[in-house]
Amino acid sequence: MTISPDMVAYIRTMVKGEYAENDRIEARLDDQGWDGFGTLLGAVFYFAVNHRFPHGASPDEVIRFVSEMRSTTAGGPETDATSAERLINAALDPSIDTDTDPKLAGRIQGLTILHTLGAGAISDEELDDLLVEASALASRV
């Protein structure tokens, strides 16, 4: 699967809070199509979670993280905590099976990415490296 550079740029501008540029890229993607975006988002989510918890996390740490994310991230309070905890745990332990609605999963992934990588939590260089890794992983699927 080929991942569009615009999709990578879309996530980068979303994380960096560059809303005007993000809107321009979104309009281009609306014209080009979003094929592969879910795969890329899932890969970025995986790397973001593992960046946040490089040595794994206890169930209590994941619960606290999700609680904080839901209370501090726009759109967080409407997010199902149990589903978010399950997806984050699955990113940390691939043997965990998830059966989450794809639309809900995408919402959780986006919020987790913003909460984990946004607001200066990661340097531009680290973000670029993470996006390159995620794009490469998504391209292999």
Summarize pLDDT for 75-134 with one digit per residue, the tens.
778 889 999 999 999 999 989 988 888 899 999 999 999 999 998 889 999 999 999 999
Q: Which residue reads 């980068």 in tokens? A: 12
Backbone angles phi, psi at 54, to 5 degrees: -65, -20
Model confidence over 2-26: pLDDT tens digits?
A: 899 999 999 999 999 999 999 999 9
* Cβ atoms 129, 48 nearer than 8 A: no
DSSP-assigned states of every residue in 25-85:
HHHHHHHH--TTHHHHHHHHHHHHHHHHSBTB--HHHHHHHHHHHHHHSTT-TTS-HHHHH
Cβ of 115: how many Cβ atoms within 10 Å? 20
pLDDT value of residue 1: 76
pLDDT value of residue 94: 86
> Between these two residues, 74 and 87, which has the higher pLDDT value?
87
pLDDT value of residue 117: 95
* Cβ atoms 131, 36 nearer than 8 A: no
